[in-house]
Amino acid sequence: METTLDIFIKAIFSENMIFAYFLGMCSYLAVSKTVKTAVGLGAAVIFVLVVTVPVNYLLENYLLKEGALEWLNPAWVDIDLSFLSFIMFIAVVASIVQLVEMLVEKFAPALYGALGIFLPLIAVNCSILGGALFMQDRQYSTIGDATAFSLGSGIGWFIAIVAIAAIREKIRYSNVPAPLRGLGITFIITGLMGMAFMSFSGIKYADDTKKKAKVNVADPNTNSSITVDPGNTLNAAVGNTNIINKED
Amino acid sequence: MSEGIENKKVPREPLFSKKNKKLVTEPLADNNPVTIQVLGICSALAITVQVEQGVVMGGAVLFVLVLGNLIISLLRNLIPSRIRIIVQLVVVAALVIIVNEVLKAFLPDVSEKLSVFVGLIITNCIIMGRFEAFAMANKPWPSIMDGIGNGLGYAGLLILVAVFRELFGSGSLYGVKLLGSNIPGEEWGLYTMGYVNNNMMILPPMALIIVGIIIWVQRSRNKSLIEEH
Amino acid sequence: MAINKDSNGYTFTFAITLVVTVGTILALLAAGLKDRQDRNEEVKKQLDILSAILDVDKKKIDRSNAEENFKKFVDLDKAIVLNNKGEVLEGIYDIKGNVVEGKAFDVDIRKEFKDKKRNAEHRNYPLFLGEDEKGKTVYVMPLIGNGLWGPIWGNICLGADMNTIKGASFGHKGETPGLGAEITQNFFINGWVGEKITTEDYSFAPFKVVKDNSGATADSKVDGITGGTITSKGVEEMANRCLEVYVSYFNNLKTK
């Protein structure tokens, strides 16, 4: 079975929000000119993801999913409100961002000074809603898993934006062709970084590792654990994360 | 940010005045939402592997953008500024859900193709960006024009990127095998001469690099767009 | 305007009006269109099963005439539901593992597979019986698994010998176009046709999706998709896990 740690590590590296899914690219490109602002926005994204995903998880499991209303009234077991999920998730994200902004402003002015200007930006950051939608799609079995996923995704996003900001700070001293300066070169660098991150996902060498990792394919008693899991393979392939493949 | 200034008490402009036409034509090139305004990148990269996907996504965004711009523009004097972001998000999400539900009921095949993108359309910064920058401050008609312009500019870029990626990555355009076929046993065309598809093109990072190159070309042609750093 | 747009009262009124309006529209729409949508999904399911039995493109079967053709080629009265040991169930399992009343066609394997609260031993395995164009008995087994980005599914059609694959169809939610998404293409499906699912002593012969694209012909070897390795492996895992259940059922049948 997929462990919580597994989900966490996967969310940082192989399923990195920026490099694997391109979520939150707009603010990633706009706010990565200096490392300082990048750290601020990155921290704000981690924070908001960790708060919103568990809330949306509860919402999904106790309100929206088919059968989710059973705890209120057994007769409502057939109600399926999942068509409302987009709108609910968005409302939750936007209102939590607003709420957090107010609370931080009131109780931690210093933190507000550092994060404040980024919070409104975050409401429209696709990675936040993306986090909620992935959570829904992957059906995490506990709220702990969902939180681990959100923390991992946030950290992955943080790493990505800080890395590009550091590169952009340095590239100022390089002789980049004029038309490519700024946005153009940032795109290309992000592409190259994306390729580097792809090596985490074991694109081509999944084949050999699968044999090791998935010996139990034909065992009917363990049906539940044999989902094909690209992340798992990758970790086996990279070979530096033995913790993750406990079961083999 | 808003490019248009609201004209109160100015005599009515003709529907297709110069200014309105400019709203449509500018985003197609010199003010392209993706390459210049840096909006809507996420989806531009994720779904440009095949031209067909680019067309479907571009069409969907165009539709939602025009309709959403119209609604926001009509409501612009009623929306309380403190919750305007939430209101904008709700309008986009509601529009997208309505479109998707209707398609699911009446055109299930189209809906199947589109369903993957639904989340991407809602989180597309282009839509929010245009609401905030234009529709909140302009009358309905210019807002519609702005929606059409930006929607087309976005779709155009998607298709351009997709053409490169599909042609070199899969050897086809809009699903038509242009360079021959590499199916084992029935090869024809370039593949018989040892041509191989560039699988790298299909992988997402290449989309970034292609967009980067498009920006390069665009800015070499129009020097005024060059950034300092 | 005389109203103060920034007052709390106005903000709340606006927010509530908006939520109520949008909520009502969406609820009405969802309720009004539900029947049509369910119907579309049903037809799609029929179409998927049919395309495993015969070439739907050649026979010009699409959504409009899927239902009549489905009735012609598949006999739903003979369809059964198995548990994961290959035993016939009198009904279907519900989420808690109780056997309740239900029909094979109503089993939603995609939902069951995704639902982590459902015990894997309490998944239902529907088996459809039908006839091919020549009137010979065929067995259609739905499959469900995970690809690279999301779920993949398929149907495999066995001939009357309960062993040779006559046809297949695969589908996916969002595999990479040009790579993993190619599993729906004929060249991939053709690799499955003619393969046997059991060895000579009736034990299950696991499939191997190989990636050298060499036109693999050996039994139980199927050509994979270059560059779509993880999706190909997903198909392999899905086929092996699901087919094994059906093989135990067929073996019980044969030994009787």
HEC string for C32-49 = HHHHHHHHHHHHHHHHHH
Q: What is the mean pLDDT of residues C204-213?
A: 72
Q: CA C133 → CA A33, B229, C77, C140, distances in Å? A: 66, 68, 19, 14
* B73-76 CB contacts, 8 Å cutoff, 24+ apart: B73/B135, B73/B136, B73/B138, B73/B139, B73/B140, B73/B143, B73/B144, B74/B140, B76/B135, B76/B136, B76/B137, B76/B138
How many CB atoms are located within 10 Å of the residue C32 CB?
Answer: 11
The answer to whether B53 faces chain C, any CB pair under 8 Å, is: yes
Q: How confident is the model at residue B5 (pLDDT cuts 50, 70, 90)?
A: very low
> CB neighbours of B55 closer than 8 A, spacing ≥ 6?
B155, B158, B159, B174
What pLDDT score was predicted for residue A54? 93
- Write phi, then psi, for B181 (nearest 5 degrees): -125, 140
Whole-model pTM: value is 0.77
* B140-144 CB contacts, 8 Å cutoff, 24+ apart: B140/B70, B140/B73, B140/B74, B141/B15, B141/B20, B142/B4, B142/B19, B142/B20, B142/B23, B143/B69, B143/B70, B143/B72, B143/B73, B144/B66, B144/B69, B144/B70, B144/B73
The answer to whether A70 faces chain C, any CB pair under 8 Å, is: no
What pLDDT score was predicted for residue A126? 78
Say whether pLDDT at A6 is over 60: yes
How many Å apart are CA A63 and CA A65, to the nearest integer? 6
Least confidently predicted of A210-224, B80-94, C141-155: A210-224
Q: How confident is the model at residue B87 (pLDDT cuts 50, 70, 90)?
A: confident
What pLDDT score was predicted for residue C214? 56
Q: What is the mean pLDDT of residues B80-95?
A: 82
How many Å apart are CA C114 and CA C93, to the nearest integer? 15
| Cβ–Cβ < 8 Å for C215, C223 | yes
Are A129 and B208 in contact (CB < 8 Å)?
no
Q: In 3D, which of A91, A122, A118, A92 has the Cα closest to residue A105?
A: A118
Question: How distant is the Cα of A204 from the closest Cα of chain B, in angstroms?
Answer: 11
| Cβ–Cβ < 8 Å for A131, A26 | no
The answer to whether C145 faces chain A, any CB pair under 8 Å, is: yes
Q: CA C88 → CA A116, C124, C144, C165, distances in Å? A: 62, 10, 19, 22
Q: In 3D, which of C6, C63, C147, A115 has the Cα closest to residue B107?
A: C63
Say whether pLDDT at A150 is over 90: yes
> CB neighbours of B163 closer than 8 A, spacing ≥ 6?
B51, B173
The answer to whether A130 faces chain B, any CB pair under 8 Å, is: yes
Are C11 and B80 in contact (CB < 8 Å)?
yes
Question: How distant is the Cα of B109 from the closest Cα of chain A, in angstroms?
Answer: 19
Q: pLDDT digit string (tens) for B135-161?
A: 888 889 899 999 999 999 999 998 999
| Tokens, residue C98 | 């109780």
DSSP state, B14?
P
CA atoms within 13 A on the CB side of B19: 13
DSSP state, B10?
P
DSSP state, A86?
H
Say whether pLDDT at A97 is over 90: no
> CB neighbours of C116 closer than 8 A, spacing ≥ 6?
A139, A140, A141
Question: How distant is the Cα of B91 from the closest Cα of chain A, in angstroms?
Answer: 9
pLDDT winner (highest mean) among B200-214, C54-68, C175-189: B200-214
Percent above pLDDT 70 for chain B: 89
Neighbours of chain A (3+ CB pairs under 8 A): B, C
What pLDDT score was predicted for residue A158? 94
Chain B residues with CB inside 8 Å of A195's CB?
Answer: 203, 205
Are C123 and A218 in contact (CB < 8 Å)?
no
Q: pLDDT digit string (tens) for A174-218?
A: 888 888 888 889 999 999 998 888 777 654 333 333 433 433 333
> CB neighbours of B141 closer than 8 A, spacing ≥ 6?
B15, B20
Are C6 and B183 in contact (CB < 8 Å)?
no
What pLDDT score was predicted for residue A166? 94
Q: How confident is the model at residue A2 (pLDDT cuts 50, 70, 90)?
A: low
Q: Where are the domains of chain C?
A: 74-254
- DSSP labels, A128-176: HHHHHHHHHHHT-SSHHHHHHHHHHHHHHHHHHHHHHHHHHHHHTTS--
The answer to whether A30 faces chain B, any CB pair under 8 Å, is: yes
In B8-134, which ranges are continuous DSSP H helix?
18-25, 41-46, 51-75, 84-106, 108-115, 118-122, 125-133
Are B205 and A192 in contact (CB < 8 Å)?
yes
Question: How distant is the Cα of C61 from the closest Cα of chain A, in angstroms?
Answer: 31
Q: What is the mean pLDDT of residues C82-111?
A: 81
DSSP state, B9?
S
Are C206 and A141 in contact (CB < 8 Å)?
no
| Cβ–Cβ < 8 Å for C181, C195 | no
- Option in A29, A172, A198 nearest B41 (CB): A29
Are B105 and C223 in contact (CB < 8 Å)?
no
Tokens 């021959």, residue located? B180
| Cβ–Cβ < 8 Å for A153, A9 | no
What pLDDT score was predicted for residue B14? 64
From its phi and psi, is residue B185 left (phi > 0), alpha (psi between -120 and 50) or beta? left
How many CB atoms are located within 10 Å of the residue A173 CB?
Answer: 8
The answer to whether C109 faces chain A, any CB pair under 8 Å, is: no
Q: pLDDT digit string (tens) for A9-26?
A: 888 888 888 887 778 887
Taken in order B170, B175, B177, B178, the sign of the CA dihedral is negative
What pLDDT score was predicted for residue A175? 87
Angle at C129 between CA C126 and CA C133, to 5 degrees: 140
Are A124 and B125 in contact (CB < 8 Å)?
yes
Q: Which residues pair with C128 in a beta bridge?
A: C140
What pLDDT score was predicted for residue C123? 85
Nearest-by-CA chain A residue for B129: A124
Nearest-by-CA chain B residue for C27: B98
How many Å apart are CA B65 and CA B22, to the nearest integer? 17
What pLDDT score was predicted for residue A218? 37
How many CB atoms are located within 10 Å of the residue C190 CB?
Answer: 15
Q: CA B189 → CA B50, B183, C163, distances in Å? A: 20, 11, 38
Q: What is the mean pLDDT of residues A71-79?
A: 75
| Cβ–Cβ < 8 Å for C105, C57 | no
Are B96 and A86 in contact (CB < 8 Å)?
yes
> CB neighbours of B82 closer than 8 A, spacing ≥ 6?
C6, C11
Nearest-by-CA chain B residue for C215: B184
Q: What is the mean pLDDT of residues B119-126?
A: 77
Q: pLDDT digit string (tens) for C15-54?
A: 888 888 988 888 888 888 888 888 888 898 888 888 888 8
| Cβ–Cβ < 8 Å for A198, B203 | yes
What pLDDT score was predicted for residue A167? 94
How many Å apart are CA C204 and CA C255, to the nearest integer? 15
Nearest-by-CA chain B residue for A134: B119
Say whether pLDDT at B80 is over 80: yes
Q: pLDDT digit string (tens) for B22-72?
A: 788 877 777 788 777 777 777 777 778 888 888 888 888 899 999 999 999
| Tokens, residue B100 | 């998707």
| Cβ–Cβ < 8 Å for C184, C176 | no
DSSP E strands, C48-164 = 74-82, 92-93, 99-100, 125-131, 137-146, 151-158
| Cβ–Cβ < 8 Å for A223, C125 | no
Beta strands at C208-210 and C221-223: parallel, antiparallel or unpaired: parallel
Helix (H, G, I), strand (E, B) or coil at C179: coil
What pLDDT score was predicted for residue A206? 34
Chain A residues with CB inside 8 Å of B124's CB?
Answer: 126
Say whether pLDDT at A110 is over 60: yes
What pLDDT score was predicted for residue A70? 75
Say whether pLDDT at A89 is over 50: yes
Q: How confident is the model at residue B11 (pLDDT cuts 50, 70, 90)?
A: low
Q: What is the mean pLDDT of residues C206-224?
A: 67
Are A226 and C237 in contact (CB < 8 Å)?
yes
What pLDDT score was predicted for residue C212? 58
How many Å apart are CA C169 and CA C223, to the nearest integer? 15
The answer to whether B98 faces chain A, any CB pair under 8 Å, is: no
Angle at B124 between CA B118 and CA B128, to 5 degrees: 120
Comparing B70 with B171, which gets the higher pLDDT? B70
| Cβ–Cβ < 8 Å for C189, C169 | yes
Nearest-by-CA chain C residue for A210: C233
How many CB atoms are located within 10 Å of the residue B105 CB?
Answer: 20
What pLDDT score was predicted for residue A201? 66
Helix (H, G, I), strand (E, B) or coil at B94: helix
Cα Rg of chain A (Å, integer):
20
Q: In 3D, which of A162, A172, A153 has the Cα closest to residue A52?
A: A153
Chain B residues with CB inside 8 Å of C5's CB?
Answer: 78-81
How many Å apart are CA B158 and CA C178, to the nearest integer? 17
Q: How confident is the model at residue A57 (pLDDT cuts 50, 70, 90)?
A: very high
- Write phi, then psi, for C122 (nearest 5 degrees): -105, 30
Least confidently predicted of A190-194, B82-86, B206-210: B82-86
What pLDDT score was predicted for residue B195? 79
